Structure 1
Amino acid sequence: MALMDPEVHVRATTTSTNDDIHRLAEAGAPDGTVVMADAMTAGRGSRGRTWHAELGGVWISVLRRPAASIETAVLSLRVGLGLAAVLQQLVGHPVALKWPNDLVVGQRKVGGILCEMRWHGARPAWVAIGVGVNVANRLPDAMRHTATTLAEVVPGLSLVAVRDAVIPVLRTVKVDDTVLDPLEIAAFDRRNWLRGRALRAPVKGTIGGIDQSGGLEVTGTDGTSHVLRAGDLILSGTA
């Protein structure tokens, strides 16, 4: 990805690449505009969680302008499918997807996705697709048992190689198909890190696949079917 591309904005440090995309979009930036940063001081994940984005990781957001309304849950899963495929090819190790928006290598998180929609009345104006991938950045000690970096899998992996793999996925992902098609659902199932695991909350049961709207299917301990649309999952055997 050429850094001279006028639609690629490079920051040494920023608060949040998604926030930068929102400002550029409001000013009229075109579909496909990219913001990448060496570090973020106020990065965020899903449900307002803090995202630690220090030097050595890939922190990128891309502006997309969908023609029709699309659920961010659908878009996040679709982005995850694209990223998992290119990162697996890059590192030579399986990359799984943990619903709703995490990339997993082995048993630990290596990246995440945050899609934020903005509206003009009832019409979608744009969506910021933010991606963070741990490459060679330092991880807080408290995260070492749940997160990892690609450099731990492939020592010496180039940041540029990861950026060049990530950006085309975000610039070309389908934003006008409002539901997941059967091929996408099947592709997710092959990477579904949660499938078959026992869930303790918000309902007790066994985790299955996803539906066309991105909901997570759970079979309750009493045999009833549930579809989760959002929220935290607590697996059996975890705090």
Structure 2
Amino acid sequence: MTPTAGGPRSRWSDLDRPPLNAAALRRALVRPDGPWTRLDVVESTGSTNADLIAAAHSGEAPGRVLVAEEQTAGRGRLGRGWSAPPRSGLFFSVLLAPQPGATVPETRWGWLPLLAGVATASALSRIARVDTALKWPNDLLVDIAGEERKCGGILAERVGPPPDADGGFATPAVVLGIGLNVSLRADELPVPGAGSLALADAETTDRDPLLRAVLRSLGDWYDRWVAAGGDPAVSGLQEAYVAGCATLGRRVRAVLPGDTELRGEAVALDGDGRLVVRTDDGVSHPVSAADVVHLHGHGHGNGRLGGE
């Protein structure tokens, strides 16, 4: 159902895409002693990540969740945009500060986008009953007619106090953004390689329980990781990521900053979350930032985080 020509745009214009129930989400997720201390749903914004970065600079406390029914300037890695029709997906960011009251060195904060990938994939597998795999470093993949398609992405941005600020957010923090295509139809996909939960025959595309499941899973994994001092082995994060990673065991092309390129086999994930690529001359290269393309072959194991 679409709005009448020239008529006002309503949140209920598309009955297949009802608005999120902000009050119910707050009742289910916000707890004084939990990871999520505030949750807001806005009708439209440019970027939830940009909004939370600005809020952090203004003194916003960690634990805030900001959800947008529509993003008009959504951001992905490497400056790419992320766009989708209103209420067709989950577009949200969380503000985290792993350091206060804990012992998580900033050298381990690079694991946060990988942690978000594990948390999101495992939650989707449980509630939507759809196999979800991880493409290093930040993509969520689903199977559509035997083809790997990207249905989600993760963007982590470090936040520090503004250079000219006397107050504000004095402790370094991270804004973690997650975008997930839920009900996008084939004719709405932004690029041919994109996908959605609906196209992957998900058991549900109801965004309220999906968001609750993802945020609960993210909170559980985050608490476990912080309790382990950010250690990916002790927290079980490294093992879980490797088990669900479709990149490992594949031949890949890794485009590095500066447009240099590596081709070889993705053989491991090291203790810093870097992808280790072994080139044809037998040399192993740990890669911390790259645009990775799967060339052919199959990932490590089944490359899936299955449901329980």
TM-score (norm 2): 0.69
Structure 1: 5+ residue runs without aligned partners?
A: none
Contact 1:66 1:124 in 2 (8 A): no
Matched positions, count: 235
| Structure 2: distance between partners of 1:203 and 1:211 | 17
Query: In the alignment, which residue of structure 2 is the partner of 1:191?
Result: 244
Shift, 1:54, TM fit? 2.5
Shift, 1:40, TM fit? 0.3
Is residue 81 from structure 1 mapped to residue 118 from structure 2 by the alignment? yes
Shift, 1:72, TM fit? 4.6
Is residue 180 from structure 1 mapped to residue 232 from structure 2 by the alignment? yes
Query: In the alignment, which residue of structure 2 is the partner of 1:164?
Result: 212
Contact 1:73 1:100 in 2 (8 A): no
Structure 2 counterpart of 1:133, from 169, 180, 202: 180
Structure 2: 5+ residue runs without aligned partners?
A: 1-23, 31-36, 100-104, 164-169, 255-260, 297-308
The 3 A distance-change label for structure 1 pair 235 and 133 is: closer
CA radius of gyration, larger in:
2
Shift, 1:70, TM fit? 4.5
Is residue 150 from structure 1 mapped to residue 197 from structure 2 by the alignment? yes
Query: In the alignment, which residue of structure 1 is the partner of 2:75?
Result: 44
Contact 1:57 1:159 in 2 (8 A): yes
Is residue 115 from structure 1 mapped to residue 168 from structure 2 by the alignment? no
Residue 151 of structure 1 aligns with an amino acid whose one-letter code is: A
Is residue 205 from structure 1 mapped to residue 264 from structure 2 by the alignment? yes
Identity %: 31
TM-score (norm 1): 0.88
Contact 2:25 2:208 in 1 (8 A): no
Residue 239 of structure 2 aligns with an amino acid whose one-letter code is: A
| Structure 2: distance between partners of 1:222 and 1:61 | 41
Contact 2:134 2:141 in 1 (8 A): yes
| Structure 2: distance between partners of 1:22 and 1:197 | 36
Query: In the alignment, which residue of structure 1 is the partner of 2:284?
Result: 225
Query: In the alignment, which residue of structure 2 is the partner of 1:13?
Result: 44
Structure 1 counterpart of 2:139, from 98, 102, 107: 102
| Structure 1: distance between partners of 2:158 and 2:127 | 30
Residue 275 of structure 2 aligns with an amino acid whose one-letter code is: L
Shift, 1:180, TM fit? 2.0
Residue 233 of structure 2 aligns with an amino acid whose one-letter code is: D
**RMSD over equivalenced CA pairs, Å:** 2.3
Query: In the alignment, which residue of structure 2 is the partner of 1:236?
Result: 295
Is residue 2 from structure 1 mapped to residue 25 from structure 2 by the alignment? yes
Shift, 1:65, TM fit? 1.4
